[in-house]
Amino acid sequence: QLQLQESGPGLVKPSETLSLTCTVSGGSISSSSYYWGWIRQPPGKGLEWIGSIYYSGSTYYNPSLKSRVTISVDTSKNQFSLKLSSVTAADTAVYYCARLHPSMVRGATIDYWGQGTLVTVSS
Amino acid sequence: DIQMTQSPSTLSASVGDRVTITCRASQSISSWLAWYQQKPGKAPKLLIYKASSLESGVPSRFSGSGSGTEFTLTISSLQPDDFATYYCQQYNSYSLTWTFGQGTKVEIK
């Protein structure tokens, strides 16, 4: 069974860079069928896709966050990572890593999620 | 960018009620539409894929319909376990970007 686990600091200071890593177990991050992504949810609010990466390193970002986001992949460790720069209180959220599966058979689904990790931006 | 407008934002209903949630896309997305259920403190759970296909293990009281720009999620007879927040999600196959609706919270009336 595929599992995803987020890790990283739960508290980040304003103007600094938020860094999270997602470790994938029970399956290979190098599968050609899937993308790997980050989704966040501010407290009491809705879901926001941050960006996605393919195992080859191709990246796709939410236009509203693109200037501050970097997603990278380390296939040797079966991990992918998120960096969000110049954070403010508005970036306080639960951050989920997930497997994204676009296909002609099943449409486009997010079929596996990490448990989520709360990151608070505060001095 | 394709915008998703989900309505209503909150819905009050009773056990046994038929419930319908709507999601509208700012341009045609064919059938690149999925629905998720989220309970407090948990990650979202996939209910419907490709607009109208029921995910394995999801009760048959859930159904999805629509294509193009207008989509609906229907719960035929609301059960106590169904009180949750529901999100639609679209995928832009040209820009490879993903967008969620704003969510609909289904509350006990």
Note whether A14 contacts B: Cβ–Cβ < 8 A: no
Note whether B88 contacts A: Cβ–Cβ < 8 A: no
B8 cis-preceded (ω within 30 degrees of 0):
yes
Q: What is the pLDDT of residues A96-120, one digit of tens each?
A: 999 999 888 888 899 999 999 999 9
Query: What is the number of other CB atoms lying within 10 angstroms of the CB of residue B15?
Result: 12
pLDDT band at B93 (very low <50, low <70, confident <90, very high): confident
- The alpha carbon of residue B27 is apart from the nearest alpha carbon of chain A, in Å, by 17
Contact B64, B72 (CB under 8 A): yes
Check residue A34 and give its pLDDT. 94
Question: Which of A101, A104, A109, A115 best tests the B interface by mutation, with the highest count of B CBs <10 A?
Answer: A109
pLDDT band at B105 (very low <50, low <70, confident <90, very high): very high
Q: What is the pLDDT of residues A24-82, one digit of tens each?
A: 999 999 988 899 999 999 999 999 999 999 999 999 999 999 999 999 999 999 999 99
Q: What is the pLDDT of residues A77-103, one digit of tens each?
A: 999 999 999 999 999 999 999 999 988
The pLDDT mean for chain B works out to 95
CB contacts, 8 Å: A100 with chain B:
98
**Rounded to whole angstroms, how far apart are CA atoms A47 and A55?**
24
Check residue A64 and give its pLDDT. 96
B17 pLDDT higher than 90: yes
CB contacts, 8 Å: A107 with chain B:
31-34, 49-51, 53, 91
Note whether B43 contacts A: Cβ–Cβ < 8 A: yes
